[in-house]
Amino acid sequence: MSSTPAAPALPDAVLWDMDGTLVDTEQYWMAAEGALVERFGGTWTHEQALTLVGQGLETSATILQGAGVRMAAHEIVDHLTAEVMRALEEYGPPLRPGAAELLDALRAADVRCALVTMSLRRMAELVVAGLPGGSFELIVSGDDATRPKPYPDAYLQACAALGVDPARTVAIEDSPTGVRAAVAAGVPTVGAPLMVSLEGSGADALWPTLEDRTPSDIAAFWSAHAASRH
């Protein structure tokens, strides 16, 4: 008798980036950055804005200071965060296509999910509050990470808090900076680009969108990655 092959196993956890991966908030960040630079008499191009995608907020603040913003770094971070939170409260979190459905399906399959973001905790909590309860077991935010992405710290901190081996998790990221952080932490990484190309970023797989993706796709990716390592 022939037996049906077993379905690929699911990872122990899925670690989600937030801005640009779960929610398309990059539009809000870019608008806030541009308005701030212009307030100090400067100009802020779309190309300049793209260099901030995925960066830690302190790094972004330093770049904005170089563009002429005469404010302390922490003041820039607080101002931008407040502006983006105002947009989120007015318009709601703009979920990326397929993100909510994949998140719900993973939770239904008892896969633990964590949010690993360089945004401040208060903003991450605002986004999570707009999702079904229990969507994320853990948030590691920009104020929690010992070093920002592209350092691996935030992902390693998430794995330690969950008590899981990084190699037994999957990360979903939209930026080269985020991909480098997850890969450096030893986490198999799916790139789902939004504003910036992920070609050559080191992502283990590239998905143009999360739309129609299911836990089975996550399992197939993770199993194939694990098999290639062995």
- The one catalytic residue in 17, 144, 153, 174 is 17
Output the six-digit token pair for 35: 């308005």
Distances (CA, A) of 32 to 28, 77, 142, 167, 182: 6, 11, 18, 37, 27
State the sign of the Cα–Cα–Cα–Cα dihedral 179, 133, 111, 102.
Answer: negative
Cα separation of the two ends of the chain: 30
- Please tell me what DSSP assigns to residue 113: E
Question: What length is written for the chain?
Answer: 230
- Please tell me what DSSP assigns to residue 119: S
- The one catalytic residue in 12, 19, 144, 174 is 19
- Sequence-separated (6 or more) residues with CB below 8 Å from residue 222: 8, 9, 10, 11, 170, 188
Hey, is 189 helix, strand or coil? strand
CA distance 176 to 160: 23
Q: Is-catalytic flag, 19?
A: yes
Active site residues: 17, 19
